Amino acid sequence: MRTIVIVGGGSAGWMAAAYLNGALNKRGRDSRVAITLLESPDIPRISVGEATIPSMRHLLAVIGVDERDFMRITDATFKQSIKYVNWVKNDNTFYHHPFSRYTNSPLDTSGADWLESDRSIPYMETVSAQPLLCEMGRAPLMLDDWSMGTPLSYAYHMNAQKFADYLRDFSIARGVVHVRANLVGVKRQDNGFISRIELDNKETLTGDLFVDCTGFKAKLIGETMGVKVEDCSKWLLCDQAITMHIPYVDHYPGIVRPYTTATALSSGWIWDIPMQSQRSIGYVHSSHFISDEKAELEMRAYQGNDTLKLPSRRIQFSVERRHKLWEGNCIAIGLSGGFIEPLESTGLYLSDLGAVALAEHFPFDDRDIDKLSYRYNRILSNRFYEILDFINMHYCLTKRDDTEFWRTVQRPEHINDRLKAKLEHWQCKPPTPMDFEDQCFFGLPTEASSNLTFPHAPVDTAALWNHESYLCILLGMNSIAQEYHAQSESRRSAPRVYEAVLDQVKQGNQKLPPHALWLQQKLGMKRFPVGKKPAGWLA
């Protein structure tokens, strides 16, 4: 039997424990791998609202979680899109990045067709019903059995602390050992592998693999294994967030939005995440462009002065990645492996991916560790850079010039070279599937590069965002439209909206309930008196 010791709880630790138990031990029915999770009783936990992406549904399915139980216990709601407000200009305009879209077969020319139209309808509304369904406030599920053709894709908003607690109880009931103590020492073998960890209760834990979920402290992968980090703050300038919970008891706006809102402010952006009992907002900003005091005032101005007595907290972070997430027999999952601001809801996703990839590359024989760890590091590295590029693109495409922050993020020195190459390529043509390809395995002869981890430079494989997602952002921010200005504006026709999209909008208006109504009837969400809507609220 192989043994895994996970050091650190929270969302990352318990996601790893639950998924590995589900994937390797058949949800606790088998005992191929013994899993122990060490959690400190003294480290305070940060409770924030978290938005996810649809991959979370895969993780929950492998773990064996009932969706409605999970949603009920974690204060969860549905998420169908991210709504970007004031990212192009500071004029209350917006666009959606939804999870579902219609693709015309066999050849999708929707992007080029829209660019050659008069663009009187937002691009995503021509290929997806979800932007309008979101604006209607509709749930992605019917109250009865589904009868609207292709199901809508969705993810969740939830309380991250309640999620960790839920996975903890679920995992312990299925065989994961939970130890509450503090880590005080780490012992290594002659080959550099970790042999055991020492606890403040005088006990020791031994294992074949050690998973570091100790957050930014990186007690194993950083302090013990000595793996350094790459600073990526040059491409993403925000370095802290001020967060606040707004309970519905006194501040219910009347609806529960079925999407995440990302509203650009003077020196960053604010997330607005609805749950069943409260909203979570957080102003992600750069401390180099705004003081803590002014940032908090700006966040509260977004919400409104009626919440001045609600507490807030400040979270500092650094945009960075470990040169390797798997070194020897130590694997970093979660913040110990790096951090990217959560503009596209990738915080929990990277922990999710780390657990899924470890299960797929699990070393049942130590002789395979070099091959498996190489590929694991390669995949996680590529995915980090894919996320970095995609989020970097949101900033550099803005046309805002009303503050120094927005003028700065557009400068060439803050656009990384991979993204520059993509954007230059897409001046020739809109994004297509062949723009994203790469295969790199252990032992593959490649030319040396300056990358510190791999001889083969990182490549965007579109494993998370394909050409359709890039089109959504590029056209949502009106980025490559200048290439299509040759035709006279007077000769342009209205954009074509696919019949399948029109039909789904029509059916959704008739069959999909308001999001709050679905939550009330299916999960028992409380009914709250309607209060004043936030100052920054866009209907």
For residue 430, being part of any structural domain is answered with: no
Give 349-386 pLDDT, tens digit per residue.
999 999 999 999 999 998 999 999 999 999 999 999 99
Specify if 97 maps to a domain. Answer: no
pLDDT band at 138 (very low <50, low <70, confident <90, very high): very high
Q: Mark whether 79 is an active-site residue.
A: yes
How far does CA 77 lie from the centroid of its chain? 16
**45 or 432: whose pLDDT is higher?**
432
Catalytic residue among 79, 83, 324, 422: 79
pLDDT of residue 133: 98
Q: Is residue 532 part of a domain?
A: no
Q: Tell me what pLDDT residue 448 has.
A: 46
CA distance 394 to 409: 10
Residue 214 in domain: yes
Q: What is the CATH number of the domain that holds 47?
A: 3.50.50.60
Task: Please state the rounded mean pLDDT for residues 445-466.
Answer: 70
Helices 10-24 and 55-63, axial angle in degrees (round to 10): 60
With residue 27 as reference, give the H or E element that holds it: none
Q: Tell me: the pLDDT tens digits for 513-530?
A: 999 999 999 999 999 998
Rounded to an integer, what distance in angstroms lies between the CA atom of residue 319 and that of residue 234?
9
Query: Please, are residues 235 and 388 in contact by the beta-carbon 8 Å criterion?
Result: yes
Q: Is 347 contained in some domain?
A: yes
> And the tokens for 268?
């960053």
Q: Is residue 198 part of a domain?
A: yes
The answer as to whether 442 is a domain residue is: no
Q: What rounded mean pLDDT belongs to the chain?
A: 92
**Count of domains observed in the chain:** 1
Choice among 7-11, 161-165, 308-312, 529-533 with the minimum mean pLDDT: 529-533
Q: In what order do the strands lie in the sheet with 194-199?
A: 183-188, 194-199, 204-206
Q: In the numeric block, which tokens belong to residue 373?
A: 């760890």
- Cα–Cα distances (Å) from 464 to 344, 370, 387, 467, in that order, read 11, 26, 8, 10
| 483-513 tens-digit pLDDT | 555 555 567 889 999 999 999 999 999 999 9
Instruction: Examine residue 166 and state whether it is found in any structural domain, yes or no.
Output: yes
Residues of the domain holding 172: 2-76+158-234+321-381
pLDDT (0 to 100) of residue 480: 74
Residue 213 has pLDDT above 50, yes or no: yes
pLDDT, average across residues 424-428 = 86
